[in-house]
Structure 1
Amino acid sequence: MQSGFGFCGHDDIQRWQRALEPIRASAGPLPRRSPIGALVKSMISGRTRDAVSLAAYDRLVAAFATPARVLAAGPGEVLRCIGAVTHAEDKARYVTRALGRIVAERRGFDLGFLGDLPLDDALAWLERLPGVGRKVAAATLNASTLDRPVLIVDSHVLRVLQRTGFVRRGAEGRAASEAVTRAMPEWQGRDFLDFHIGTKKLGQTLCRFDAADCAHCPLRTDCRARSD
């Protein structure tokens, strides 16, 4: 079974998941936030180091405690908390606009209903929100207590999938997420989250953009871009 974008398929992903288990284990557990918490955390995380975005999210929670208070505070006060992240002004504006849209439509911040929608509909509902693309939508569904089966693809995961040949060079994150999600219909949410964490950690450490350490990569025998 091929991905439709590259040359690999189901069996490759299964094999890579097993090979990445030690790297995944070294990353430790990932906290399961509420869907609204996962949404906000992911919205401020893009193009920002994990430690920086997590600290910014923690400051936001400490300052306002609830989504309603974040919305009431407005983008200026949100910016004070998340100013260290990349594109902080845009993110502060998007977060407050997204929260405003949610409360206007849902009369609250409970996104539990997304667990009952078909996956494509849940993703589409989230992607209507300001500042929300496929990565943020997938993170809201998969990395939260909803635990839905969809792959989160950031720049590190995408690089690994491109170099191994699962998706072609130039493929976007949305296409990569859809390809892996389609290829693994039996996987549960936890399986996709483990694969995301493992490939992301690989991309941050051994499969870096500027200095790939192919000799120590657990996927080197399958990698089409490896340097021998």
Structure 2
Amino acid sequence: MTNPARELSPQEKTWQVHLRLNEALGLLSGEPRREPMRELISTMLSHRTTHANEEKAYFQMLERFPTWQDVINAPFEELADALSPAKFPGAKAENIQKALRLIEREHPDFSLEFLRDLDVPEALDWLMALPGVGLKTATLVLLFNFQKPVLPVDTHVHRVSQRVGLIGATVTHDKAHQTLLEMLPPEAHVLYNFHRHLLSHGQKICTWRAPKCEQCVLQDLCNYYEEVRSKGIDR
């Protein structure tokens, strides 16, 4: 029997996934959870690090070095030690100090509010010129703090999108930002909910190991469920 989901275009399926997860998880307001500098530095710390350890590293850093100027002036070894709960604390300490120096050069008040007035390509270019800031971090800051129509794709969003069949198996994280973005309305509240809901779904249900397909509200839309789990294949 043909899976009805196979008859949907990727764009139609992406919208159905968005609606299904909105219904299951509830619409989020999109209000910023952190001020922009906090979002930027915390996201830099989050690479390959759990949220709990990201938070621990961030607050441990500010406990020892309470201002951004203090962080810039901190002895490298001491800053790296403060960031030790995060993975690769030395590399992150170096990138954070370099990024803060560049920000200070143009904006001595360490405010990122100027990004609100830039168009998306210009804002992305500015952020991604900072050491340690890639496309995921830049899009997350622009969407979460400035309601720009961009779509962050982290490991969870990428995995769920591939399993369900919104993007192909060979689509990279960076390519997925644009591919998924083009299949959704360019509206910040839609993109915010899509990102947050796929992230949550990937953390709690569509996990890397042993996805909980029996609890998934996307079963009838999902290529992975049709091809693997519904046939009892252990993969």
Say whether 1:64 aligns with 2:65: yes
Stretch deviating more after TM superposition (130-139 or 29-38): 29-38
Kept after mapping to 1: 8 A contact 2:205/2:216:
yes
Say whether 1:187 aligns with 2:187: yes
Residues in 1 aligned to 2:196 and 2:144: alpha-carbon distance in whole angstroms: 10
Partner of 1:84: 85
Aligned positions of 1:21-60 closer than 5 A: 21=22, 24-25=25-26, 32-60=33-61
Residues in 1 aligned to 2:125 and 2:107: alpha-carbon distance in whole angstroms: 16
Partner of 2:119: 118
| Unaligned stretches of 5+ residues in structure 2 | 1-8, 231-235
Kept after mapping to 2: 8 A contact 1:207/1:214:
yes
The alignment of Structure 1 onto Structure 2 pairs a total of residues equal to 219
Say whether 1:202 aligns with 2:162: no
Kept after mapping to 1: 8 A contact 2:81/2:89:
no
From the superposition, tell whether residues 148 and 87 of structure 1 become closer, same or farther in structure 2 (CA, over 3 Å): same
Aligned positions of 1:153-164 closer than 5 A: 153-164=153-164
From the superposition, tell whether residues 13 and 102 of structure 1 become closer, same or farther in structure 2 (CA, over 3 Å): same
Residues in 1 aligned to 2:31 and 2:186: alpha-carbon distance in whole angstroms: 22
Partner of 2:149: 149
Q: Secondary structure at the match of 2:214?
A: helix
Kept after mapping to 2: 8 A contact 1:74/1:96:
no
Partner of 2:19: 18
| Unaligned stretches of 5+ residues in structure 1 | 1-6
Partner of 2:10: 8
Residues in 2 aligned to 1:187 and 1:29: alpha-carbon distance in whole angstroms: 11
Q: Secondary structure at the match of 1:163?
A: helix
TM-superposition CA deviations, 1:114-171 (whole Å, max 9, x none): 1111112211111111111111111111222x22221111111100111122111122
Q: Secondary structure at the match of 1:96?
A: helix
Q: 1:53: Cα distance to partner? A: 0.9
Kept after mapping to 1: 8 A contact 2:157/2:202:
yes
Residues in 2 aligned to 1:56 and 1:196: alpha-carbon distance in whole angstroms: 24
Kept after mapping to 1: 8 A contact 2:72/2:100:
yes
Letter in 2 for 1:133: G
Say whether 1:218 aligns with 2:217: yes
Q: 1:36: Cα distance to partner? A: 1.6
Q: 1:103: Cα distance to partner? A: 1.3
TM-superposition CA deviations, 1:170-197 (whole Å, max 9, x none): 2222211112222223422x33222222
Give the alignment's Cα RMSD to 1 decimal: 2.4
Based on CA coordinates, which of the two structures has the bigger radius of gyration?
Answer: 2
